[in-house]
Amino acid sequence: MLSTTKRRTNSSDFLTTEPPGLEAPGGANRRGRGRRRGGGYREAFWCSILALCVAFGISVSATAQDLPYNDLLTEPAPDALTPLDDYFQEAVANNAALQAEYQDVVAQSNVGAQVGALPDPEVNLAFFANPPDQEGSLPGRLSGSVMQMTPWFGTRSARRSAADARTRALQQRLEQRALNLMRDVQATYVSYYRTQRAVELTERNLALLESLVPTVEARYETAQARSGQVDLLRIEMERDELRTRLASLRESRRPLRARFNELLNRAGDASIDLPEELPDMPLMLAGQQVQADAEAIADLLISRNPGLQSFDAQLRAAEHTERAARLDGWPQFGLGVQVMGRDFMQMRTMQRMNEGVALMATIQVPLFRGAYRAQQREATAQRRATRHRQTQQENELRTTIETHVQTYRDATRRIELHRERLLPRAAQALNILREDYQAGGSDIDEVIRMQRQMLDYAIALVEAQADQHTARARLEALAPMPNRPTPDFAP
């Protein structure tokens, strides 16, 4: 209001004119003051235009080459993550936990041949040590028999089917474990990139701060010596804070690098090949590009999720186990043959008698039914428990998908906000403040504050890119990808 009132007062002076040829005393001075006041109006006008340009993101004095973080404003090519594909291959081939689960699959695949086989035959030999006539030959005192037991019809096939279904369940769990491994590899890789990029951006901000020192020293040598000394101290304080922050960032890289190399089963200090930038990647799930619609994504992933499919295999195994438990309650029977020598016991009295052959049959009667009924109840309870776990897993999966899709959307919005609006405007404002400070106008605190805010925007952009890739990796881990490696170990 004060400045507006002053401008109105000044404008009345310009409306006062003198007749031609007559000039009041001091008229020349009034015209000079009028010209100076007119110049003040023009300066105020251009300052207003400049402020509007800064407010609406219109480039005034800064070009793309002048931006301190101009490399963050361009979207990198999608093939920037090519090194990650090689790390996937290395992790699947070398990860110790994945190899251990593969051996579990190999072990389970050999169970079906065991439970589906017949029991070993029973062979009996008898020797009559005290025959009534000692003149008999030794071979005539021997007797031998063979007995083969077999369970009720269909019992062995039910057991074999249950074992094969458990093998299939372990195979699908192994596939899910491989997807989780690649998810962890990508998430750790992105976290390491984010930290390394924060180190580089902080170093760049530190160099930008150092570039202010010559200007401050020049002001220190002029009449503004006292304020220049304060500015130098303020820069020293900011520099110390940046160096401390930089040291912490550098230290935080070590556990991330160790974790990443652990997933690949290699030395903890092995180097990691990082891209220059993280590209903006669309959602590619189960080999097809999808929109960020949580419900459609959930339907797609649930239908192809190996973890849920393993529950289907476990249910089939439980059903076959329940059937085998019912069949165990039926009798088992055996068939055999017994061969007796001519001189075996009473056969010596029959001179014309040859070796005796006897066919044998036996039946194992399951009289104690309590044990078999308990076995059936156990199998039924296991099948119902598996069904409930599958339902719970599906519900949790839908919630997880909703969370990851929301994170992906939010990260995409933040990338657009920081790359297209906040970071360019902060860089333009910083250029204006630095120029104003060199001209002796703005305060050094305003310049330092804007530099720190621009650094925060740059790091926030990198964090948004990392969050987008992490959310995408977690969604991709819920369904097989056609271009991702699968476990293929030798037993």
Tokens of 279: 């590209």
Greatest mean pLDDT among 31-35, 289-293, 402-406 lies in 402-406
Q: What ranges make up the beta strands (E) of 43-86?
A: none
The pLDDT-based confidence of 344 (bands split at 50, 70, 90) is low
DSSP classification of residue 331: -
What is residue 61's predicted lDDT score, i.e. its pLDDT? 36
The structure tokens 């002053």 sit at 6
* Proportion of the chain above pLDDT 90, given as a percent: 49
Residues in a beta bridge with 150? 333
pLDDT classification of 343: cutoffs 50, 70, 90: low
pLDDT over 70 (residue 36) = no
- Mean of the pLDDT values across residues 295-302? 88
- Ordered by start, the domain boundaries in the chain are 66-476
pLDDT at residue 339, rounded to an integer: 83
- Predicted local distance difference test score (pLDDT) of residue 488: 64
pLDDT for residue 44 is more than 70: no
Contact, 366 vs 331, CB < 8 A?
yes
Range of weakest confidence among 67-71, 186-190, 222-226: 222-226
pLDDT tops 50 at residue 4: no
Q: What is the pLDDT of residues 366-383, one digit of tens each?
A: 888 888 899 999 999 999
The pLDDT of residue 11: 34
Query: Buried b vs exposed e over 282-294: b needs ≥16 C-beta within 10 Å?
Result: ebebbeeebeeeb
Prediction pTM value: 0.77
Q: What percent of the chain has pLDDT over 70?
A: 76
State residue 225's pLDDT score.
Answer: 56
Q: Taking 80 as the threshold, does the pLDDT of residue 118 lie above it? A: yes
Q: 131-151: per-residue pLDDT in tens?
A: 555 554 444 567 888 999 999
Say what the pLDDT of residue 380 is: 93
315 near 390, Cβ under 8 Å? yes
Average pLDDT for 230-259 = 93
Q: Is the pLDDT confidence value at 34 over 50?
A: no
Res 489 pLDDT > 60 = no
pLDDT band at 312 (very low <50, low <70, confident <90, very high): very high
Give the model's pLDDT for residue 32: 45
The pLDDT of residue 127 is 76
Contact 479, 175 (CB under 8 A): no
How would DSSP label each residue in 398-462? HHHHHHHHHHHHHHHHHHHHIIIIIHHHHHHHHHHHHHHHHTT-S-HHHHHHHHHHHHHHHHHHH
User: In the numeric block, which tokens belong to residue 4?
Assistant: 């507006």
Tell me what pLDDT residue 133 has: 54
pLDDT category of residue 416 using cuts at 50, 70 and 90: very high
Among 35-39, 185-189, 360-364, the minimum mean pLDDT is found in 35-39
Length of the chain: 491
The model's pLDDT over 167-177, given as tens digits with 9 standing for 90+, comes to 999 999 999 99
Q: Which pLDDT score is estimated for 481?
A: 81
Report the amino acid identity of residue 16.
T
Mean pLDDT, rounded, for 236-242:
93
440 conformational bin, left if phi > 0, alpha if psi -120 to 50, beta if neither: left
Note the pLDDT of residue 140.
Answer: 53
Q: For residues 55 and 63, what is the distance between their CA atoms, to the nearest angstrom?
A: 16
Q: Which residues pair with 92 in a beta bridge?
A: none
- Tell me the C-alpha distance between 264 and 83, whole Å: 14
For 57-85, what is each residue's pLDDT tens digit? 333 333 333 556 778 887 777 677 778 88
Euclidean distance between CA atoms 43 and 312, whole angstroms:
77
Q: What residue type is 75 in one-letter code? A: E
Are the beta carbons of 172 and 306 closer than 8 angstroms?
Answer: yes
Per-residue confidence (pLDDT) for residue 418, from 0 to 100? 93
Q: Domain 66-476 has what CATH class? A: mainly alpha
> Residue 198 pLDDT > 60, yes or no?
yes
The upper half-sphere exposure of residue 330, i.e. CA atoms within 13 Å in the direction of its Cβ, equals 13
Mean pLDDT of the chain: 80
pLDDT of residue 307: 93
